[in-house]
Copies of this chain bind each other. A is one copy, B any other.
Amino acid sequence: MSNFEIVREKLDQAVQVLREKKVDLWITLVRETRQVTDPCLDLLLGFDLTWQSALMISRTGERIAIVGRYDADNVERLGGYTTVIGYDRSFREPLLSHLTRLNPRKVALNFSESDPAADGLTHGMFRVLAKMIADQECASRLISAEEVIGALRGRKSPSEVARIQAAIRETQAIFTRIASQIRPDVTEWEIAAWFQDVAAQEGMGLAWEAEYCPAVTAGPDSSIGHAMPGDSVLRRGNLLQVDFGVSKDGFVSDLQRTWYLLDEGETAPPAEVQAGWQAARAALEAGRAMLRPGVRGWEVDQAARESLTQAGYPEYMHAFGHHIGRSAHDGATVLGPRWERYGTSIEGMVEVRNVFAIELGVQVPEYGYIGCEENVIVTAEGAEYLSDPQLDLWCI
């Protein structure tokens, strides 16, 4: 399926979501999207727009694109929009005339306090619109599109799942290939460069910013998380954790794998390392067992978090899970704790065909960090692995 076909599929799905959510009109307002992009543009168009532009999707099935004249041809070529207007001087007149004609009772805009993927409308563009419609009835009918966007982005079509799965397969192949190169005395930087070189050779992008993709934690003295790989040198008796994903045909993977470098005379990892691994794996499975249609994001996180803390380990300082798709943090419902920074994103409900990265970790003093992260799809029965899960620590 081509990129254009995937976008057209998503536009059809958008109309269905508007009907389900009883939203009359959804407007995506953007400009110069190379500089500030709205994440919804990937769903609704798949390329950039330059001048002030409005993509209007109506629950009647109409899809109206009002774009600068130089962008109009490209929108025509995409197909999927019932009306394409290329303007020269201002988008005010076509925007207002379609708004008046459609007379929507609810107009959804891309702002959200909780979901970054539904918050692509800039404050400046909001002000442009607010002034433009100040004396229109619809000025008082503006609502957040976060529910519409969350459903549209979160419910992956079969072609979207196929692309995510392809990215996961490539990532796993890279992990396998690089495993054979891992040895004592290499630095985090060197290991990171191996991953990036292979991805580049294979013509793939990275799933997130190059500085942290992969994130590499070698031994007990390295910082974890989104930290850039540093000068820490991998030693025998160290844990090595790598968080990596690729971007292939516009879709990403996000996996962590953990190795233990056997020390002189060791035939298996020390007991505390093994215990840490078992606790992390068990907590990941506890979260996965809770991950099914109809549960709230925080409930899934709670199951994993309690499993870990009841095993005597400190809680992880991040969310258990996040959507993946076109992006490694693909918006909508977060499987996270009820902390202020997650806003209401963790109150969202898990749905069929959601694809998540689920992850957590354990620090083992004097050895290093253990990270478990897998990718799963939600079906009517529960969460099925899309990745081949790492069931045991990999020893070198």
Residues of chain A at the chain B interface (Cβ within 8 Å): 31-32, 34-39, 47-48, 50-52, 68-71, 73-74, 77, 87-92, 109, 111-128, 131, 144, 208-209, 211, 223-228, 317-318, 327-329, 331, 339-341, 343
Contact = CB atoms under 8 A, between A and B. Distances in A.
Nearest to A322: B32
Contact of A38 (B31, B36, B73, B211): B36
B128 A124 contact: no
A212 to B, nearest CB: 8
A209 B74 CA distance: 13
Which of A39, A74, A124, A226 has the most B CB atoms < 10 Å from its CB?
A124
24 contacts: A32-B117, A34-B329, A35-B117, A36-B38, A36-B119, A36-B120, A48-B208, A48-B211, A50-B329, A68-B226, A74-B211, A74-B227, A113-B125, A113-B131, A114-B124, A116-B122, A118-B124, A119-B123, A119-B125, A123-B123, A123-B125, A123-B126, A126-B126, A128-B343
Contacts of A52: 341
A32 B116 contact: yes
A225 B69 contact: yes
Contact of A112 (B111, B114, B124, B226): B124
Contact of A119 (B68, B89, B115, B124): B124
Contact of A35 (B77, B113, B116): B116
Nearest to A69: B317
